[in-house]
Amino acid sequence: MLRWIRVGFGKDILRKGEDEEEGDGRLERKGSRLRITRVPGAGDEDVARNLWGRQVLAIVLWYITNGSTVMLNRYLFMTDVGFTFPMTLTLMHLVSGYALSTVALKYFLRDLDPIPLNKAQYTSDKLKFATLFVGNIILGNVALKFIPVSFMQTIKSMTPFFTTLFQYLITGTRYTNQTLLSLFPVVGGVILATLKEQSFNMVGFLAAMAGCLVQATQIVYAPKLL
């Protein structure tokens, strides 16, 4: 008998169940993605609570690792250290990410079933998303070579503005007036910070701004490409 279960950080999969009380479920396919709709039953509350805890843990770990990575990258580019190769640093990031992901999938996330991916899907969808992802990392490392972390993060706060703009231009999504008005203080703050920034560097500024554009594009296309 088959049983619908939810494991990992919110990922739905289908696997063989044991001889116990089963719940009914329906499998829906959209492109290369699978979605499981489950009828609530006994134990759902515990499953939801466990899933919520894992999601919170994932968010906290993401903030810690992301913040630490950005600050360490900037430290490497400081004059006292003398490292001046953002492309090499990006390569190190990608190789480390691949190695750690392989270890996690093999030893800690063994319950996850991989989704089959043919060559056509890879070249048309996943390769585009990977290109945007790598481009965002490269631009971020280039920016950190020339400007401090605080200024780069200030520029990065423009990402919601560009995401909203691209959502409208690419998908036709419309937002409420309240949402649009909430973006003006963000844009104004970035403009003021740029004008008064003592460590301003044009190369770093353009790299960070380009990173915002790439990240916004990545966010818009993510639901379609994943």
Q: How far is CA 14 from CA 2, 50, 52, 130, in A?
A: 7, 18, 20, 27
Mean pLDDT over 35-42 rounds to 51
pLDDT tens-digit readout, 41-69: 545 666 677 778 888 998 999 889 888 98
User: Minimal CA–CA distance to 92: which of 147, 63, 61, 134?
Assistant: 134
Average pLDDT, the chain: 79
pLDDT tens-digit readout, 77-121: 987 788 889 999 999 999 998 999 889 888 887 777 777 767 776
Enumerate the β-bridge partners of residue 37: 26
Of residues 219 and 2, more confidence is placed in: 219
Question: Residue 110: what pLDDT?
Answer: 75
Structure confidence at residue 11 as a pLDDT band (50, 70, 90): very low
Enumerate the β-bridge partners of residue 14: 4
Question: Residue 2: what pLDDT?
Answer: 38
Share of the chain above pLDDT 90, in %: 36
Question: Residue 44: what pLDDT?
Answer: 62
Q: Is the pLDDT of residue 29 over 80?
A: no
The answer to whether the beta carbons of residues 216 and 162 sit under 8 Å apart is yes
Of residues 48 and 22, more confidence is placed in: 48
The answer to whether the beta carbons of residues 112 and 7 sit under 8 Å apart is yes
pLDDT tens-digit readout, 168-207: 998 888 889 998 999 999 899 888 888 888 889 999 999 9
